[in-house]
Structure 1
């Protein structure tokens, strides 16, 4: 399975302290987008200090205007409040969805915890309808855990 093979790459990226945190986050985005054909936009959002909003971190994919997302708004904003993974098989069926591109069909967001606190998340958009499985969730939880270790 591709996820098992990518775990080693993620660990290598995270452990390379010669690169800055943002460089390592970008390398993770590039790795996932390049190797998983239905990961069309991969990025990180992080809590903006003490504000109830997320700020866009490193990402790959189409440019986005959504550089700041208030808690509760869109899928990412909902994950900031719920502290739970959110898998959206069909973005058109979501009332509280922030459209980034008309080509996006599905989204998955998994929170990142440091010392039990939700400090950010990985956000993945797919141009493929309903592509995400439980294996994607488990793999992205692994990625978020590794990212938390370097933050």
Structure 2
């Protein structure tokens, strides 16, 4: 993984004149195409005043999990904890919502606007133990850039 090159290309996407939804889709498509073990890349955002997340743009197989209550699954836990959550093997997690038998690992990073958790990027991998500190750095950087145009 060339972290600096990935960050530079995230900058190009986030600083473009595209509308918000197009930028989010471009980020999903770019990350899925550039990182071999990113098998599903998507954004979830707080659903108005409800205590739930709503699926926005994504790249990967369709999911039934378009609404996730706060506290449920990895995404729902991040909505409450406001902290990065890396699961190297989903079978070791009690509060995991299965998105399909292929998913072996997941990383979720929150997006903050004015110190409020407004959403998150969610990555599923079909590989056990794929994520490194570089993944966390890349996705945190991506979320910081997304926060500037959301």
TM-score by shorter chain over 0.5 = yes
Cα RMSD (Å): 0.6
2:142 corresponds to 1:143: yes
SS of residue in 2 equivalent to 1:75: helix
1:17-47: per-residue Cα shift (whole Å, max 9, x none)? Answer: 2x21011000000000000000000000000
Q: Which residue of 1 aligns with 2:99?
A: 100
**Aligned partners of 1:100 and 1:3: how far apart in 2?**
28
Q: Count residues with an aligned counterpart.
A: 150
2:78 corresponds to 1:79: yes
Moved over 3 A (4+): none
The 5-angstrom pairing of residues 54-69 of structure 1 reads 54-69=53-68
- Tell me by how many angstroms 1:135 deviates: 1.1
Q: Which residue of 2 aligns with 1:9?
A: 9
Structure 1, unaligned runs of 5 or more? none
Structure 2, unaligned runs of 5 or more? none
2:111 corresponds to 1:112: yes
SS of residue in 2 equivalent to 1:150: coil
What is the TM-score with the length of structure 1 in the denominator? 0.98
**Aligned partners of 1:37 and 1:150: how far apart in 2?**
27
**Aligned partners of 1:26 and 1:111: how far apart in 2?**
17
Q: Which residue of 2 aligns with 1:129?
A: 128
- Tell me by how many angstroms 1:3 deviates: 1.9
1:55-83: per-residue Cα shift (whole Å, max 9, x none)? Answer: 00000000000000000000000000000
**Aligned partners of 2:13 and 2:115: how far apart in 1?**
23
